[in-house]
Copies of this chain bind each other. A is one copy, B any other.
Amino acid sequence: MLRNDNFLRALSKQPVTRIPLWLMRQAGRYLPEYCETRKRAGGFMTLCQSADLACEVTLQPLARYDLDAAILFSDILTVPDAMGLGLYFETGEGPRFQRPLREEQAINELFAPDPYDSLAYVLDATRVIRKALDNSVPLIGFSGSPYTLACYMVEGGSSKDFRHIKTMLYTRPDLLHRILTVTSQAVTAYLNAQIENGAQAVMLFDTWGGSLSNAAYQEFSLAYMRQIIAGLRRERDGEKIPVIVFTKGGGLWLESIAESGCDAVGLDWTVSLGDARRRVGGKVALQGNLDPNVLFAPPQTIALEAEKVLASYQTAGDDMTGLVFNLGHGISQFTPPEHVHALIEAVHGYPR
């Protein structure tokens, strides 16, 4: 039995003893202890590939802060790496693939890897972390969305304009659909394996869906996330496994995301949380959505801005159920770690 199940209760819109909170990228470079472990490991992928190191960094923010959930330490690009694209990191350049997917033949040869084979290291980490958490707070598993993964796979890395994948989308949509179909199968199996190995909720990170037109988003991003959600194991050991979908820049499409079959929708900071709550009308829980840059401000301002977000949510309903507090994007590596306390106190102490 979980000692703090507020996160799972909020996702099911059940009463909570306090508003649950976690932070996207909470185990990350803003924490000196993370930087030390990473240095010791010799690189980011070594952290992901060692169950013990992944567990160590997953627990670091929980040791420091009173958080309501842990998230598996891993990277969204483990899946395309397992598909044979050759992930590597160029210093200061972000992730890259040795073999970007552009040729029809390579696309036809694409396969969905067995997560128990090439992604076993993630499942090992999941088990070790779940055990180490010892039922203190729930463990979140995650994957990139098929479209977001396809962006990296086709572009070969980060991109400003997504020229290659969009050229494919408009010129050879059949090829992109093939990539997305295989990737969806891969992600479904991957998330089910995370659930099988101890993840108590899962989240789809659709970091780049917001770069699409409304129509293209529906066809090339949301449709595949819907397919994944339909294929997920939603219960384990009698416990429900909730699913969160987060499309950065997807505020315009909130209603259709809420109808994807997910339990909760993650929101970036451009959306008013009150408007969002009115728009989904209790259909799903919401997760968000403070601008991570607020954490550069002094503690009183952080508390004030967090309370504004919470008050906005409150204007649109009778109580505070159905809300998981989070940032609207990953915490910045430049965040002063001591500033995070002010945020957590404001959220857990709400209303003052």
Contacts and interface: CB of A to CB of B under 8 A. Distances in A.
A216 B308 CA distance: 12
A270 to B, nearest CB: 6
A171 B301 contact: yes
A84 B305 CA distance: 34
Nearest to A170: B297
Interface string A156-180: 0000011100110111000000000
A170 B270 contact: no
Interface of A: 161-163, 166-167, 169-171, 210-217, 249, 251-252, 269-272, 275, 291, 293-294, 296-298, 301, 305, 308, 328, 332, 334
Contacts of A217: 270
B249 A296 contact: no
B270 A166 contact: no
Contacts of A298: 171
B249 A171 contact: no
A170 B305 CA distance: 9
A249 B270 CA distance: 9
A296 B163 contact: yes
B269 A213 contact: yes
A271 B163 contact: no
Contacts of A211: 270
Contacts of A328: 213
Say how many copies of this protein the assembly contains. Answer: 2
A212 to B, nearest CB: 7
Given A251-B252, A252-B251, A332-B163, A215 B296 contact: no
Nearest to A329: B161
B252 A271 contact: yes
Of A270, A305, A334, most B-chain CB atoms within 10 Å: A270
A212 B293 CA distance: 10
Contact of A167 (B163, B167, B296): B296
A296 B252 contact: no
A291 B171 contact: no
A296 to B, nearest CB: 4
Contacts of A214: 269-272, 275
Contacts of A170: 293-294, 296-297, 301, 305
Contacts of A297: 167, 170-171
A270 B213 contact: yes
19 contacts: A163-B293, A163-B296, A163-B332, A167-B293, A170-B305, A171-B297, A210-B270, A211-B270, A212-B291, A213-B269, A214-B269, A214-B270, A214-B272, A214-B275, A215-B272, A217-B270, A251-B252, A252-B271, A252-B272
B251 A161 contact: no
Contacts of A161: 293, 332
A272 B334 CA distance: 36
